[in-house]
A and B are shown apart, each in its own frame.
Chain A
Amino acid sequence: MSEVHAETVPFVRDTMLPSAAPPARQSGAVLWLRENLFSGPLNILLTLAGLAALWALVSHLWPWFGHAVWNASSIGECRQIIAERYGQGAGGACFAIIRERWNQFIFGFYPAEHYWRPTAVFGLMMFAVAPILFSESRRLRWTVLAVSAVASFAACVALGAPGRALLAVGAGFVALAALIEYAPRRALAFSVLYPFLAVWMLWGGSFWGPVAVLAGFALALAIWRLGARFGAGLLGLALGVAAAVWWWAALGPRVAADLQGLMPLALAPVESRSFGGFLLALTIGVSGIVMSLPLGIILALARQSNLPVVRTLAVMFIEFIRGVPLITLLFVASILLNYFLPPGTNFDIILRVIIMVTLFAAAYMAEVIRGGLAALPRGQYEGADSLGLTYWQAQRLIILPQALKISIPGIVGTFIGVFKDTTLVTFVGLFDPLKQMADTIRATFAWKGAYWEPYIFTGTIFFILCFAMSRYAMYLERRLKTDHR
């Protein structure tokens, strides 16, 4: 052995090898088929069995879709048309229910002459979120904005919005587009103001009501900032919250009423009870999603806090909320809460449901984000600390950007869950699109017995929205990938 080595071991390379291109991959459909589907007797058998199962499925489902009737005034008429066309006993979908009642699946009992309001709110929502969600890619941002502006404007026209409203909505879209293009940081102000605008447009009433509520927030913020400047941030925060509550309870409504007297600006009020369908699902879902993220972050940080009281409270809150079903919380919101509130208080049912959905989602969100925080190496905290960053600076600049990035799949999973869970409001008598709204439509004699079609329609819309969220999450993960692992 050693003799052999003695001759072969000494080796000196005199020329370094240049790097070569990798071998070309063989491709072609036939090759792919042979390798993946027909590579052996067992695989050939499995492929054939799979094809047979697929055929059985399609051959049974296709006639039902293929025989679909879109034009009819009742399910009976649908069945008659199908029987005439395809013979007695042939099955077929009756999508005429969607064609005739689409407006209720989308808007519930929202007054038809005001359908343009939620439509415009949806279009404006894109202008509020696009500068945040698509801050990096100009092309993507403009694609999203153009599509949603054109679509929602066209829908407003089709839904018979009055001329003045169309003018206002159109001018708003153009102005916001210009703002986003030329002053993107200012455009974020619209993102903050948007919720108040949306509330006004959806529920109507005096314009000055939401303005007064907004003023309360501004008051709290101003007092807090003032306190922080004099080194009393916590005191300022407490004073600010107290001032805001006082404003909302006492002075704000009176100021709003006076302003309404001076400068009347109002939309026809719409009752919460008339919200339904996807309008309701989106109102509750989007509010829950938007508010649960910051609340979840605060809860996650509180749970990791060194302060025992803060930590204990966070743990108690999270464990309690996660320990009860969402429906329980919704029942609390709809029934129990009234016992605790002073008689005669008109605390909006949708607002109550939004609060409960937000708290529920925030508890899950907190745990998802805590996972992200735990995944960060200790060194990141130490690196931030060693530079003299304060706790909040370190969280905001170093820890959270990374922890949230790690948690994106979990966060979006929670978002999707929240959105789908909005259908549970059916149990407190709100007209969710999946059950209550469909049941209501089926309660009329004409559509009695149409089960599959509404479910398929609602399911499809839910799928599109949830799938979009999921794709966005993937895009975001790709965009934020900087670690080059």
Chain B
Amino acid sequence: MTEPANAARPAFGTETAVQIEKLNKWYGTFHVLRDIDLTVRRGERIVIAGPSGSGKSTLIRCINQLEEHQSGRITVDGIELTNDIKNIDKIRSEVGMVFQHFNLFPHLTVLENCTLAPIWVRKIPRREAEETAMHFLREVRIPDQAHKYPGQLSGGQQQRVAIARSLCMRPKIMLFDEPTSALDPEMIKEVLDTMIELAEGGMTMICVTHEMGFAQAVAHRVIFMDQGQIVEENTPQEFFNNPKSDRTKLFLSQILGH
């Protein structure tokens, strides 16, 4: 971490937040993830990029077991993921996830969306959960929408609610699965700003995104995937200015060249 571009970023710890070893996954006979090895430190921010179908979403969905893997080890926060459903629920409650399509609960108000899991999973009293929820809704700058239903909000607002909903569980790690891909250009910025603020707060983040500006601004490390494998892994500085692999160069020329 000697690059000047990273000097301003708070250094992350040496503790391991997520450790992935020799991870393999198949959809039927299709080999989606091949021998993935990845270690994420506490406080580290990682951006995963790559062409569609490269397995990047599948990779982060394995971390909270929305997808099952067939071989390899995933250790999250010191707990190894097994088939034990209690173990998986425990890890999911420590790992927040933000989805491309928000996945808010349309039958609950914004506030209820944010308090549901703290009340039922963490067993926090309703009043306290509501205070926490309002705190995070203020953080994402939509406290005045708390009593509306998700369907009444714009896409950008919904995604910020989704971020607040995850934060209400006080997660140790946040996963972002293309959080801005379903948004209009004008709304992308408000979501990215929220994510940048979150990053500045020292959250451990793993983001699958095509927002290369975001990667350059906050990532400690960029991982480039293709055909289910990690092709290149580097600091954003090196990754964008001095890519090593031909596949990375091609990818960058395609997404940055217009």
Q: Is A475 an interface residue (CB 8 A)?
A: no
Decide yes or no whether A40 CB sits under 8 A from chain B.
no
Task: Given A387-B117, A390-B89, A484-B149, verify A382-B107 contact (CB < 8 Å).
Answer: no
Q: Is the CB of B116 within 8 A of A387?
A: yes
Complex contact B66–A386 (CB within 8 A): yes
Cβ contact within 8 Å between B92 and A482: no
Q: Please state if B64 and A386 are interface contacts (CB–CB under 8 Å).
A: yes
Chain A residues closer than 8 Å to B89, beta-carbon distance: 388-390
Question: Are the C-beta atoms of A389 and B121 separated by less than 8 Å?
Answer: yes
Given A385-B92, A386-B92: A391 and B107 interface contact (C-beta under 8 Å): no
B104 and A397 contact, CB distance less than 8 A: no
CB neighbours of B101 from chain A (8 A):
377, 379
* Interface size bracket, B side: 20 to 34
CB within 8 A of B99: which of A379, A391, A393?
A379
Within 8 Å by CB of A388, from B102, B106, B151, B169, lies: B169
B106–A402 contact, CB under 8 A? yes
Residues of B contacting A379 with CB < 8 Å?
Answer: 99, 101-103
**Using Cβ atoms and an 8 Å threshold, which residues of chain A touch B90?**
388
Q: Does A482 lie within 8 Å of B117, measured CB to CB?
A: no
* Nearest-CB residue, chain A, relative to B118: A387
B219 adjacent to chain A (CB < 8 Å): no
For B101, the closest partner residue in chain A by CB is A379
Asked if B111 is at the interface (CB within 8 A of a chain A CB), the reply is: no
- Asked whether A398 and B105 contact (CB < 8 A) given A388-B117, A482-B151, the answer is yes
C-alpha gap A482/B150 in the complex (Å): 9
Query: Any chain B CB within 8 A of the CB of A459?
Result: no
B7 at the interface (CB under 8 A from A): no
- How many Å from the CB of B108 to the closest CB on chain A? 8
Complex interface bits, B63-101 against A, C-beta within 8 A gives 1, otherwise 0: 010100000000000000000010001111111110101
Q: Is B30 positioned at the interface, with any CB of A under 8 Å from its CB? A: no
Most buried by B among A383, A384, A389, A483: A383
Task: Kindly report which residue of chain A lies nearest to residue B91, judged by CB atoms.
Answer: A388
* Chain A positions near chain B (C-beta within 8 angstroms): 377, 379-380, 382-391, 393, 397-398, 401-402, 405, 480, 482-485
Q: Which 6 A-B pairs have the closest CB atoms?
A: A388-B93, A383-B103, A484-B151, A387-B117, A379-B103, A388-B92
Q: Which B residues have a C-beta under 8 Å from some C-beta of A?
A: 64, 66, 85, 89-97, 99, 101-107, 116-117, 120-121, 149, 151-152, 165-166, 169
- A-B CB contact pairs (8 Å), 28 listed: A377-B101, A379-B103, A380-B103, A382-B66, A383-B104, A383-B105, A384-B105, A385-B66, A385-B92, A386-B66, A386-B95, A386-B166, A387-B121, A387-B165, A388-B89, A388-B91, A388-B92, A388-B121, A389-B117, A389-B120, A390-B89, A391-B85, A398-B105, A480-B107, A482-B106, A482-B149, A483-B107, A484-B151
